[in-house]
Amino acid sequence: MKKRLLITGINGMLGQNLVKEYSKDYMISGIDLNPGIYPTHSDIRVTQLDLNDSTAVNQHIMQVHPHALIHTAAYTNVDRAEAEREVAFAVNAAVPALLADLCLELDIPMIHISTDYVFDGQKGPYAESDPCHPHGSYAESKYAGEKAVLDSGAKVIVVRPNVMYGHGVDLKSSFVDWLVKELRGNNPVNIVDDQYNNPTYARRLSQVIRKLLERDAWGIWHFGSKEVISRYSFALKIADNFGLPSELINAISTGDLNQRAPRPMRSGLICEKVKRELGINILSIGEELALLKEEMDVR
């Protein structure tokens, strides 16, 4: 009999990629605010549920009794979090704490998706052992969630991606899809050239998560691409990979955007641990964009 896997935020980019990764070998249940992309006759069982409803969440997880839980759902609007700090902490800190307690009670592993925002972004790239200094309500709420699950006593794997991108159906936010659409329409775009990361390709992240879970690799793990580059340079690479006009991409500074919340300017994640201990090959951004192009069936 197949093992049961429960994925929160199953309709999101990472959730959809995890379904692709696991659906052949696992019975998959999902929790999401929206009914989503999976038809009722499919083998993917999605339950519309507000994760802030602790009673309903408790009852549902106890009923499903999965063999593992992957928590991808989060409050991700970085700027709005400054005005909705309590909401951000409810979703990004209190919910993971509840899920970790349930996983401890059921004696099942939990994979929690965090972020590079737990660092201040001044002296990246960062290793798993580097001290965290989150700035802003979103970052602080995500760090609180990390601490809650790690301190819960449950079997926990915390994965930190950064600038996640990929492909999926009906995604609310996908930087690559947005950029490709704009450039194909010959629309100029403005991209910041002073924020640095090594972006994380969601398809490969789902594969890494599976390997981490199979190896009972408890603790904190980083995953991204081989090189740390600016968002502007990343956009140029996307344009080149998809054969689109890069001259439509204009470099601007973060200050030009007048954003409410602070951003990690010099961020990025060192991925030596996952390479050394799990044998994961860290690919270049160009190599991963080629995989994405193939995934999107773009010729």
Judge if 189 and 57 occupy the same domain: no
Q: Is 248 in contact with 187 (CB distance < 8 Å)?
A: yes
How far apart are the C-alpha atoms of 129 and 31, rounded to whole Å?
A: 32
Judge if 73 and 214 occupy the same domain: yes
pLDDT reported for residue 298: 59
Judge if 155 and 193 occupy the same domain: no
Asked if residue 57 belongs to a domain, the reply is yes
Asked if residue 279 belongs to a domain, the reply is no
pLDDT reported for residue 236: 98
pLDDT reported for residue 225: 98
How far apart are the C-alpha atoms of 291 and 299, rounded to whole Å?
A: 12
Asked if residue 277 belongs to a domain, the reply is no
Residue 255, domain CATH = 3.90.25.10
Q: What is the DSSP string of 133-198?
A: ---SHHHHHHHHHHHHHHTS-S-EEEEE--SEE---SS-S--HHHHHHHHHHTT--EEEESS-EE-
How far apart are the C-alpha atoms of 242 and 293, rounded to whole Å?
A: 7
Judge if 209 and 148 occupy the same domain: yes
Residue 51 has which token pair? 């994760």
| Residue numbers of the domain that contains 41 | 3-164+200-222
How far apart are the C-alpha atoms of 246 and 132, rounded to whole Å?
A: 36
Judge if 242 and 172 occupy the same domain: yes
Side-chain-side CA neighbours of residue 184 (13 Å): 9
Asked if residue 275 belongs to a domain, the reply is no
Q: Is 241 in contact with 170 (CB distance < 8 Å)?
A: no
Rounded average pLDDT per 10-residue block, the chain, 299 residues: 95 97 96 87 90 97 98 97 98 98 98 98 98 98 98 98 94 87 97 98 98 98 98 98 97 97 97 97 98 83
Q: Is 78 left (phi over 0), alpha (psi -120 to 50) or beta?
A: alpha
Judge if 72 and 89 occupy the same domain: yes
Residue 43, domain CATH = 3.40.50.720
Judge if 171 and 107 occupy the same domain: no
Asked if residue 278 belongs to a domain, the reply is no
Q: Is 3 in contact with 214 (CB distance < 8 Å)?
A: no
How far apart are the C-alpha atoms of 281 and 225, rounded to whole Å?
A: 10
Asked if residue 71 belongs to a domain, the reply is yes
pLDDT reported for residue 297: 75
Angle between helices 13-22 and 202-214 (to 10 degrees): 50
Judge if 13 and 155 occupy the same domain: yes
Judge if 243 and 136 occupy the same domain: no
Asked if residue 149 belongs to a domain, the reply is yes
Judge if 215 and 247 occupy the same domain: no
How far apart are the C-alpha atoms of 268 and 230, rounded to whole Å?
A: 10
Judge if 117 and 251 occupy the same domain: no
Judge if 178 and 134 occupy the same domain: no
Asked if residue 255 belongs to a domain, the reply is yes
- How many domains does one find in the chain? 2
How far apart are the C-alpha atoms of 127 and 137, rounded to whole Å?
A: 22
Model pTM score:
0.97
